[in-house]
Structure 1
Amino acid sequence: MNTNPFDLTGKTAVVTGARRGIGFAMAEALAVAGADIIAASAGQEADGGAIGRRVRELGRSFEGHGVDFRDRDAVTAFGQDVAARTDILVNNAGTIRRAPAAEHPLEWWDEVIDVNLNSQFVLTQHVGRQMIERGGGKIIFTASLLSFQGGVTVPGYAATKSAIGGLTKALANEWASRGVNVNAIAPGYISTDNTEALRDDPERSQSILSRIPAARWGEASDLGGAAVFLASRASDYVSGVVLPVDGGWMGR
């Protein structure tokens, strides 16, 4: 009998947005823990690219899918394809558009809502049905510090990440008794493409750093441990949590 509660051997994890950044790091960490990986991104290469190579180096199987998360039909088809095979779902695919609210293009608003919220629910609904039928599964959303705060010049992103916090709790309330754990990770200020504009602004970057007790921007790899915990048996009694991984930002 395997007594390691963090061991994911024999599990299959679907990770969206795994091509780079936080999604890459979470997929890598899950593979290190023993999970096989199915990755989906809008630009996901047929062979998996860098994340596919890394997962295979770790001795796990890899399957890549190109999915446009703005397209509900594409997300539905993907969900129907992978639902029966998914033990762990990591809803990480997302986008951000920066413009003051008064001038924010409505097409940007629609795009962010579709990618960050609508597609997440559609995919989770398909996968969640199968998990309920099997009596178990792990679902992890990528939330944000803006699940708790409002942000500046990112109205669509802030709205969707607040909604992800609420959706996490709503699904947990319905599915925890069915053996399906639904939780979220709220990354702090992480060095990724999404935060490049902030890091390139010396004044904004210093303002952010001055509030982080850890005194550094986070790295994508800092999210790996939280992902493995929420995907594993170690979190079987954890449900409806939005877990900040933020260097202490929320405690400041």
Structure 2
Amino acid sequence: MPGNRIRSPQRRTLFCDESGHSINWRASVKGDYNSEADYFADAGHMAYTASRSKTHIPLSCLSSVQYSKDKFEESEFFMRLVFEGHRNLDIKLKNKTDFEYCMDGFELIAKNRDLFAKKTSFRPSSMQEIWSANNYQPLTMQINGKTWNVGCGNDAEDIFLILSCYGSLWSFLIGFFALLLKGAIDSDEHNTLLYMYLVFGVIYVSLISLAVYTGAMEKESIAKKKAAAGIEEGDELPDDDE
């Protein structure tokens, strides 16, 4: 029902966002119904036309669900969702079945609204906080009562995976270059495969150089953003929605 009481009620579609934290409404469209006839029979000239996007209402702010006993006895199935810090949402349903279904659902949400609260972003101040949050155990060694990070912050499984990746990469490169060198030795005097050896080597070095260069560019861009936002070098940039 519209906030302006002078206006007539309009058919709208109430929906929950993908995160499950808030609700909103939009104009009813023909795709919401089984057929075009059902759309005109239900909404028709009372269909709501969206002029601008509405602000999402957090379900964690739903404090209570109200209804009018007099209107209910007169078969006017009206309910009001009361939100803290947001406008109330008045809904008029078509029949008793839909009314009871919505009442039970929204009352259950109001009683358990803490479950719908959006969790705050985790902002660790050190690597130890990140390890503790993820139950991560880096590979360490105790020498003379002092702890040494043997794996540079990685656990035994990650160290094994990193060494396996590097071993596979270099084994492939050595085998491939050895194959090219064997072909160059066995080929004609023009050494065509030897030139292929050179070309592949140049391409590989170029790709590595490009990766290092783009990484440096990204690091420089982040540093400029932090400087513009007044954030210290050791702190992280906030998310776009904060």
Q: TM-score, normalised by structure 2?
A: 0.19
Task: Considering Cα pairs closer than 8 Å and 6+ residues apart, tell me whether 1 or 2 has the greater RCO.
Answer: 1
